């Protein structure tokens, strides 16, 4: 599951592949096709976290990075989101 995504301006890419090496979840690979300049460009696979590592290292300003809006409360998978603050055991002190 992905918590981030990208917009990739493939026509600006010069095929340096620094984004591929920089990506922590490893969800970028280079295309086989080439852009108008003749360079392969990155493609995104599932698992982006929106960490911006690719955008930071890219010399050609190819990436726009998005993070999904999501509830940040940690809870077991399948449990409902809480609707009221949870009382500690033993009542409020």
- Residues contacting another protein: total by CB under 8 A: 48
**Which of 34, 35, 53, 85 touches another protein by CB under 8 A?**
53
Q: Hey, how many other C-beta atoms are within 10 angstroms of the C-beta on 50?
A: 15
| Maximal CA-CA distance, the chain | 68
Strand partners, 8: 63
Q: Report the distance separating Cα 75 and Cα 49, nearest Å.
A: 19
**Which of 47, 72, 79, 89 touches another protein by CB under 8 A?**
47
Residue ranges binding another protein (CB under 8 A): 2, 4-9, 12, 14-18, 20-27, 29, 39, 43-48, 50-53, 55-69
């Amino acid at each position: 599951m992905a918590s981030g995504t990208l917009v990739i301006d493939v026509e600006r890419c010069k095929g340096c592949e620094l984004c591929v090496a920089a990506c922590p979840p490893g969800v970028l690979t280079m295309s086989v096709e080439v852009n108008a300049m003749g360079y392969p460009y990155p493609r995104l696979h599932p698992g982006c976290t929106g960490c911006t590592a690719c955008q930071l290292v890219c010399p050609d300003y190819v990436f726009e990075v998005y993070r999904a809006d999501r509830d940040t409360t940690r809870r077991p998978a399948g449990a409902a989101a809480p609707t009221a603050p949870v009382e500690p055991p033993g009542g409020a002190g």
